[in-house]
Structure 1
Amino acid sequence: MSSVICLEISILRRDGGLQCRSSLKKDSVATYAAAMERGEYFPPVIAFNDGQEIWLADGYHRLAAAECIGQKTFSVDLRSGSLRDAILYVTSIKSNKLQGLPHTLGDRYRVVERLLRDHVWSRCSDDQIADHCGVSRQCVHRIRQECTLRY
């Protein structure tokens, strides 16, 4: 279930490991902030409500831009679900295609690595993870081997 509502930016949890990018792109944040000041429309961010916390899944650049211009609230597509549901959303090919900024190779690496740390997905085949994330099976295989060596 999902509904779009206006929420205080400060209540959105951003520490759940959902940010798949290695860092925010400052130039994109500045561009978004300038557009927001001009009154341009931005789609709602996506967050998951587990009944106790509201986890930001998508929209880190938009929220950073809103904060830059002093905005205290933002439109949120609020979905029911756990932190794990949010993780599965942000690692999906569907999420990647909907985002305004395309994922870099490093971002895709982080997405696959995030799933490989999941207690259920880590047991899935390289093909299943590749299909979910929208990357090649070889990419998943290589990242799985690197993660195994590291941990």
Structure 2
Amino acid sequence: MSSVVCLEISTLRRDGGLHCRIGLNQDSVAIYAAALKGGTPFPPVIAFNNGQEIWLADGYHRIAAAESIGHKTCSVDLRSGSLRDAILYVTSIKASKIQGIPHTLDDRSRVVERLLRDYVWSRCSDDQIADHCGVSRRWVHRVRQEFILRN
């Protein structure tokens, strides 16, 4: 279940390993901040509520932009679900297709690695992970091999 609500930005947990990018693109944050300041509406960020915590899944750049201009609240598409549900959302092809800033190659590797750290997905085939993330099977295989060597 999902509903759009206005929440205090400070209530959004951002420490669950959900940000699948290597880092924030500060140029994008500045562009978003200027647009917000000018009154441009942005889609709500997406967060998952497990009844105790609200995990920010999508919208890290929008939140950073809002904070940079002093906003204390934001519009949130709040969905019921656990941290793991949020992880499965942010690693899905569906999530990557709606994002305003395209994933870099490093971001795509990070998404695959996030699934490889999951107790269920780590046992899935390269094909299954590729289908979920929207990358090639060969990409998943390469990332898995590098992940295994590092861990």
TM-score in terms of structure 2 length:
0.99
- Identity of paired residues, percent? 79
Aligned CA-pair RMSD: 0.4
Quick check: 1:36 aligned with 2:36? yes
Counterpart position of 2:111: 111
Distance 1:114 1:141 in 2: 14
Q: Which residue of 1 aligns with 2:48?
A: 48
Give the AA of the match of 1:103.
Answer: H
In structure 1, how many angstroms separate the alpha carbons of the residues matched to 2:144 and 2:99?
A: 25
1:76 aligns with 2:106: no
The one-character-per-residue Cα deviations of 1:10-49 (angstroms, maximum 9, x if unpaired) are: 0100000000011100000000000001000100000000
Shift in Å, 1:150 = 1.0
User: Which residue is 2:127 aligned to?
Assistant: 127
1:18 aligns with 2:21: no
Runs of 4 or more above 6 Å deviation: none
SS at match of 1:122: helix
In 2, Cα distance between the equivalents of 1:146 and 1:26?
28
Secondary structure of the corresponding residue to residue 77 of structure 1: strand
Other structure's SS at 2:77 match: strand
* SS of alignment partner, residue 47 of structure 1: strand
Q: Which runs of 5+ in 2 are unaligned?
A: none
Q: Secondary structure at the match of 1:16?
A: coil
* Secondary structure at the counterpart of residue 18 of structure 1: coil
SS of residue in 2 equivalent to 1:56? strand
